[in-house]
Amino acid sequence: MQIQINTDKNVSGHEARAQSISETLTRVLARFNEQITRVEVHLSDENSATKSGGADKRCLLEVRIAGRQPSSVSELANTSEQAVVGAAQKMVRLLESELGKVGRR
């Protein structure tokens, strides 16, 4: 499973953060490892660096499975890490639903 991480100008993309995100996604999506070819992570700060506020960190996850259209989910949270975990959990539920339907045919 290849993981590509993209950030907007308001989110720092440090190597340690990228490693942490990759480890989280690998762990949470492990049961789909054989089906997933690539995961794209898009992190953004909805309010930008000049404003403060509540849940303004957004994680958009796009998962590509061979022979299928990409699936995507997003999550807003107080921190980028929380947004990544929330989006990953949503993706698990989506993949369970989508892949489960394929298995029943």
CATH number of the domain enclosing 9: 3.30.160.100
pLDDT of amino acid 53: 61
SS3 label, residue 105: coil
Local confidence pLDDT in tens for the 105 residues of the chain: 899 998 887 776 677 788 999 999 999 999 999 999 999 999 988 876 565 666 688 999 999 998 899 999 999 999 889 999 999 999 999 999 988 765 544
**What is the value of pTM for the model shown?**
0.85
The answer to whether the beta carbons of residues 63 and 36 sit under 8 Å apart is: yes
CA distance 18 to 35: 22
Q: Which domain holds residue 47?
A: 2-103
Overall number of domains in the chain = 1
What is the reported pLDDT for 64? 96
Q: Which residues contact 37 (CB under 8 A, 6 or more apart)?
A: 1, 2, 64, 65, 66
